């Protein structure tokens, strides 16, 4: 997935400082291999480790962090002020041109930017709006004149701006937005209009309050022809913060989270801007109104323009993965300290993480987080290769977009799932803001629908898979595709492959399980992707000569599975990245433990799709049952290392900022246990009525016996 030539040299980077240890009441370890948290932690920081450490140190500063309970108005002003701090400290210029004071460092910029989520997701996203969307649109869609004219004041935040793409009526289908930019040769201007309510720009950060200007996406119309969506630089407000003539808007108001950002709506009525304000890298209009573009195909031109904005998806994948890591660090730390019920002992209660159910809730999610961390670093390296120009072919760009569409949905959904599970694993205390999880979840909620709705993105992946499939079989013609598909179904569905497997599985479940090595897991994951795509392609192919309506209906019937296929492909990407990450682990003990985690991730995927493997004849009943047994065995083997594995994420109390992951719970448990121990040894402990009842019953039985019964 990654061209290693594009990796910056990190060999000289120092190892991160050892984290201050948090006391754990109970942290059992097997006598076998141990995790070397320092070296593993360094590896998890990835290609831009030093930039991450620097950014993470910044995110630990209270002046850049969220204050829980602030009103929306206070929070918005605080975050705006924090953006100014970032400017003053030169923390946000890396992606911009060297000529303008930047570093032309795209990968490093994103690595650094993602870490802001640790301080406050509102700070991350408002920075993303200003420099990753508004500024990036000028950078990537504009040309040198725009860079010189607009970027300096964007970089310094002198000009806060909105990225006005989404409309109330069109989010996923950007090509169909209603806003128009019509060229008027009489004045050499574009006229921007939102012709109906659904064409209002909506959900835009910086639009409600702070935005002075905006990059506005609109249908470019000149000489009676609509050349499709282009981006225009449009002033919004005057020096007093009032809307300029023709511009209007409203506040989106309170949101489910991210209330440090002033999202709002904008509309335009005959707003005139100079022709030069067309960001003209991929399409230009001359004074006569004649349109030219370096990309002849309107469709390819549109996707090229959108493709330059992929960094949003990159950074959400990274930030979501960090949020999951923090959630697990909090929940595992608490689960290793918190005690409840005393099933195994008369006096000591068990720590939560010694319960099988609690292990099942947290440990597989650690495995997924590792997979995501490795996959994200490769993704970021790929992104850097494309945006630095080092590895920037059309195939690279297409591959980057597919990776983005695949990974972002999985990691953003996973963050919500993991933050919720962690919050529940803290019981009632997880609901308190002081334990951080609810706030993070509220903020990250929107990550699953912005920068591409997750379902729509996975559908895009599914469609790419179909296209690839069609290309592969192009020379053989549709008849052979169908034959191939049916043949495969015959082999797998009717039991032939399955029967073969049953024959090989005559031994015990345990022996069958041992064959689930990484290669077998990969083969199962890949086979599922191929088979699903093949099946969908075959069904769609059957109606390829029918009307558009019939084809659309058949597509709709297959849409759920197509999205599942997209997800299956994304899971395979993650698994492969984890495989490569594991290969790079050097410490032998660490490698053994991370190897278990790797298999747990892969087998966990198989388990989550076990129904598919079973009903499609890929796993016999015996091997199917062995999957769960092996997952259980791996979890049990990883349990003693759970704390090390989350400690390796590298977050200290200054990042987690969760009361119950600070050692508070351990202190409370110690105090309570010391109290009861002292009470027992004092001889003043009250007797338990239950014990008295038992003694009385025993005495009664003895008396009855003595009475000669």
Task: State which of positions 260-289 bind a copy of itself (CB under 8 A).
Answer: none
Q: Which of 563, 642, 648, 661 binds a copy of itself (CB under 8 A)?
A: 563
Q: Evaluate whether 657 touches 59 at the Cβ level (below 8 Å).
A: no
Please give the DSSP secondary-structure letter assigned to residue 685: P
Using rule CB under 8 A, residue 347 touches a copy of itself: no
Q: How far is the CB of 510 from a copy of itself (least distance, A)?
A: 15
Q: Which of 50, 434, 527, 654 binds a copy of itself (CB under 8 A)?
A: 434
Question: Who's near 328: CB < 8 A, 6+ residues apart?
Answer: 362, 365, 366, 369, 418, 422, 646, 649
d(CA 53, CA 205): 28
Token code pair at residue 444: 């990250």
* Chain centroid, CA 427 distance in Å: 25
Token code pair at residue 512: 């069958």
Of the candidate spans 199-207, 306-314, 526-534, 596-604, the one that interacts with a copy of itself by CB under 8 A turns out to be 199-207
d(CA 491, CA 617): 9
Q: Which of 439, 602, 604, 663 binds a copy of itself (CB under 8 A)?
A: 439
Using rule CB under 8 A, residue 515 touches a copy of itself: no
Using rule CB under 8 A, residue 527 touches a copy of itself: no
Print burial letters for 576-608: b (CB count within 10 Å at least 16), e (below 16).
bbbbebbeebebeebbbbbebbbbbbbbbbbbe
Q: Which of 284, 614, 652, 654 binds a copy of itself (CB under 8 A)?
A: 614
Q: Which of 71, 187, 510, 523 binds a copy of itself (CB under 8 A)?
A: 71
Token code pair at residue 693: 């009842």
* Active centre residues (catalytic): 451
Count the neighbouring beta carbons within 10 Å of the beta carbon of residue 689.
8
d(CA 401, CA 407): 10
Q: Which of 33, 161, 602, 624 binds a copy of itself (CB under 8 A)?
A: 624
Q: Which of 59, 129, 136, 221 binds a copy of itself (CB under 8 A)?
A: 221
The residues in 644-673 that bind a copy of itself, with binding defined as CB under 8 A, are 667-669, 671-672
Q: How far is the CB of 265 from a copy of itself (least distance, A)?
A: 11
Question: Who's near 356: CB < 8 A, 6+ residues apart?
Answer: 632
Count the neighbouring beta carbons within 10 Å of the beta carbon of residue 269.
13
Please give the DSSP secondary-structure letter assigned to residue 167: B
Q: How far is the CB of 494 from a copy of itself (least distance, A)?
A: 8
Using rule CB under 8 A, residue 616 touches a copy of itself: yes
Cα 229 to Cα 196, 278, 321, 500: the distances in Å are 17, 11, 33, 55
Using rule CB under 8 A, residue 557 touches a copy of itself: yes
Q: How far is the CB of 268 from a copy of itself (least distance, A)?
A: 15
How many residues sit close enough to a copy of itself to count as binding (CB under 8 A)? 121
Using rule CB under 8 A, residue 503 touches a copy of itself: no
Of the candidate spans 109-117, 140-148, 290-298, 375-383, the one that interacts with a copy of itself by CB under 8 A turns out to be 290-298
Q: Which of 149, 153, 388, 449 binds a copy of itself (CB under 8 A)?
A: 449
**Which of 243/612 has CB closer to a copy of itself?**
612
Using rule CB under 8 A, residue 427 touches a copy of itself: yes
**Which of 284/632 has CB closer to a copy of itself?**
632
Token code pair at residue 215: 């990059």
Between strands 201-204 and 264-268, the pairing is: antiparallel
3-state DSSP assignment of residue 427:
helix
Angle at 208 between CA 206 and CA 209, to 5 degrees: 75
Print burial letters for 232-248: b (CB count within 10 Å at least 16), e (below 16).
bbbbbbeeeeeeeeebb
Q: Which of 146, 423, 596, 655 binds a copy of itself (CB under 8 A)?
A: 423
Of the candidate spans 47-55, 165-173, 572-580, 700-708, the one that interacts with a copy of itself by CB under 8 A turns out to be 165-173
Rg (CA), the chain: 29
Q: How far is the CB of 500 from a copy of itself (least distance, A)?
A: 14
d(CA 119, CA 426): 21
Count the neighbouring beta carbons within 10 Å of the beta carbon of residue 536.
24
Q: Which of 103, 170, 399, 539 binds a copy of itself (CB under 8 A)?
A: 170
Count the neighbouring beta carbons within 10 Å of the beta carbon of residue 476.
11
Q: Evaluate whether 461 touches 569 at the Cβ level (below 8 Å).
A: yes
Using rule CB under 8 A, residue 196 touches a copy of itself: yes
What mask, x for binding a copy of itself by CB under 8 A, covers residues 236 to 265? ----------------xxxxxx--------
Of the candidate spans 112-120, 128-136, 367-375, 616-624, the one that interacts with a copy of itself by CB under 8 A turns out to be 616-624
Q: Which of 548, 588, 682, 706 binds a copy of itself (CB under 8 A)?
A: 548
Using rule CB under 8 A, residue 226 touches a copy of itself: yes
d(CA 403, CA 395): 12
Q: Which of 147, 610, 652, 654 binds a copy of itself (CB under 8 A)?
A: 610
Of the candidate spans 105-113, 303-311, 597-605, 610-618, the one that interacts with a copy of itself by CB under 8 A turns out to be 610-618
Of the candidate spans 17-25, 125-133, 619-627, 645-653, the one that interacts with a copy of itself by CB under 8 A turns out to be 619-627
d(CA 205, CA 225): 31
Using rule CB under 8 A, residue 486 touches a copy of itself: no
Using rule CB under 8 A, residue 708 touches a copy of itself: no
Q: How far is the CB of 649 from a copy of itself (least distance, A)?
A: 23
* Chain centroid, CA 583 distance in Å: 23
Q: Which of 5, 239, 545, 688 binds a copy of itself (CB under 8 A)?
A: 688
Handedness of CA 437, 442, 445, 450 (dihedral sign): negative
Question: Who's near 637: CB < 8 A, 6+ residues apart?
Answer: 30, 596
The residues in 76-115 that bind a copy of itself, with binding defined as CB under 8 A, are none
**Which of 464/498 has CB closer to a copy of itself?**
498
Nearest to 610 by CA among 516, 510, 484: 516
Provide φ and ψ at 600, rounded to 5°: -60, -40
Q: How far is the CB of 560 from a copy of itself (least distance, A)?
A: 5
The residues in 348-407 that bind a copy of itself, with binding defined as CB under 8 A, are 349-350, 354-357, 360
Of the candidate spans 27-35, 336-344, 378-386, 397-405, the one that interacts with a copy of itself by CB under 8 A turns out to be 336-344
Q: Which of 169, 235, 307, 595 binds a copy of itself (CB under 8 A)?
A: 169
The residues in 51-70 that bind a copy of itself, with binding defined as CB under 8 A, are 68-69
Q: How far is the CB of 686 from a copy of itself (least distance, A)?
A: 4
Q: How far is the CB of 603 from a copy of itself (least distance, A)?
A: 13
Q: Evaluate whether 180 touches 138 at the Cβ level (below 8 Å).
A: no
Q: Please, how many CA atoms are within 13 Å of residue 654, restricted to the half-sphere of its CB?
A: 12
Question: Who's near 159: CB < 8 A, 6+ residues apart?
Answer: 150, 153, 212, 213
Using rule CB under 8 A, residue 454 touches a copy of itself: yes
């Amino acid at each position: 997935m990654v061209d290693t030539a594009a990796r910056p040299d990190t060999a000289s980077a120092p190892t991160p400082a050892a984290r201050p240890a948090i006391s754990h009441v109970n942290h059992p370890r097997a006598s076998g291999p141990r995790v070397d948290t320092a070296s593993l932690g360094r590896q998890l920081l990835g290609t831009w480790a030093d930039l991450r450490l620097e950014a993470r140190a910044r995110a630990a500063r209270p002046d850049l962090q969220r204050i829980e309970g602030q009103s929306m108005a206070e929070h918005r002003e605080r975050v705006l002020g924090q953006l100014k701090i970032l400017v003053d400290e030169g923390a946000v210029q890396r992606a911009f041109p060297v000529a303008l004071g930047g570093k032309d460092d795209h990968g490093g910029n994103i690595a650094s930017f993602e870490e802001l989520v640790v301080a406050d997701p509102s700070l991350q996203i408002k920075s993303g709006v200003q420099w990753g969307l508004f500024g990036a649109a000028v950078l990537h869609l504009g040309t040198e004149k725009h860079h010189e004219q607009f970027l300096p004041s964007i970089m310094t935040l002198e000009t806060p701006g909105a990225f006005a793409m989404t409309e109330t009526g069109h989010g996923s289908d950007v090509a169909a937005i209603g806003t128009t930019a019509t060229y008027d040769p009489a004045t050499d201007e574009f006229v921007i209009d939102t012709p109906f309510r659904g064409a209002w720009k909506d959900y835009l950060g910086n639009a409600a309050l702070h935005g002075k200007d905006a990059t506005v996406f609109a249908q470019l119309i000149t000489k009676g022809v609509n050349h499709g969506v282009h981006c225009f630089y449009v002033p919004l407000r005057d020096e007093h913060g009032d809307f300029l003539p023709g511009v209007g808007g409203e506040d989106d108001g309170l949101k489910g989270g991210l209330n440090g950002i002033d999202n709002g709506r904008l509309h335009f009525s005959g707003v005139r801007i100079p022709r030069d304000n067309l960001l003209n890298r991929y399409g230009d209009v001359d004074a006569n109104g004649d349109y030219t573009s370096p990309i002849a195909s309107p469709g390819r031109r549109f996707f090229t323009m959108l493709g330059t904005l992929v960094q949003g998806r990159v950074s959400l994948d990274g930030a979501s993965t960090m949020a999951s890591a923090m959630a697990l660090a909090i929940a595992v730390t608490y689960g290793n300290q918190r005690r409840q019920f005393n099933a195994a002992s008369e006096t000591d209660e068990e720590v939560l993480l010694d319960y099988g159910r609690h292990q099942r809730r947290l440990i597989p999610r650690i495995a997924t987080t590792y997979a995501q961390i490795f996959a994200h670093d490769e993704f970021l390296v790929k992104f850097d290769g494309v945006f630095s120009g080092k590895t920037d072919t059309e195939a690279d760009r297409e591959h980057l977009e597919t990776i983005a569409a695949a990974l972002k949905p999985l990691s953003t959904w996973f963050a919500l799932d993991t933050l919720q599970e962690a919050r529940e694993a803290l019981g009632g205390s997880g609901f308190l803001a002081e334990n951080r999880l609810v706030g993070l979840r509220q903020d990250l909620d929107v990550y699953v629908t912005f920068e591409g709705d997750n379902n729509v993105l996975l559908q895009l992946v599914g469609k790419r898979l179909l296209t690839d499939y069609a290309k592969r079989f192009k020379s053989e013609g549709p008849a052979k595709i169908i034959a191939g598909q049916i043949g495969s179904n015959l082999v797998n569905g009717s039991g032939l492959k399955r029967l073969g497997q049953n024959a090989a599985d005559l031994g015990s479940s345990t022996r069958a399980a041992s064959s689930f090595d990484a290669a077998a897991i990969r083969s199962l994951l890949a086979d599922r992707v191929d088979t699903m795509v093949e099946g969908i392609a075959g069904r769609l192919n059957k109606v390829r000569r029918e009307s558009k309506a019939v084809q659309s209906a058949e597509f709709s019937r297959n849409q759920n599975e197509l999205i599942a296929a997209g997800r299956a492909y994304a899971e395979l990407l993650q698994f492969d990245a984890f495989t490569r990450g594991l290969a790079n682990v050097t410490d032998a003990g660490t490698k053994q433990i991370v190897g278990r985690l790797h298999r747990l991730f892969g087998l966990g995927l198989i388990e989550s799709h076990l129904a598919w493997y079973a009903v499609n004849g890929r796993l016999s009943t015996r091997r199917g049952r062995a999957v769960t047994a092996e997952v259980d065995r791996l979890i049990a083997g990883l349990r003693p290392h759970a704390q090390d594995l989350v400690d390796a994420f590298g977050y200290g109390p200054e990042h987690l900022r969760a009361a119950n992951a600070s050692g508070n719970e351990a202190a409370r448990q110690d105090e309570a246990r010391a109290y009861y121990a002292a009470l027992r040894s004092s001889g003043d402990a009250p007797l338990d009525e239950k014990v008295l009842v038992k003694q009385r019953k025993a005495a009664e039985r003895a008396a009855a016996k003595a009475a000669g019964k």
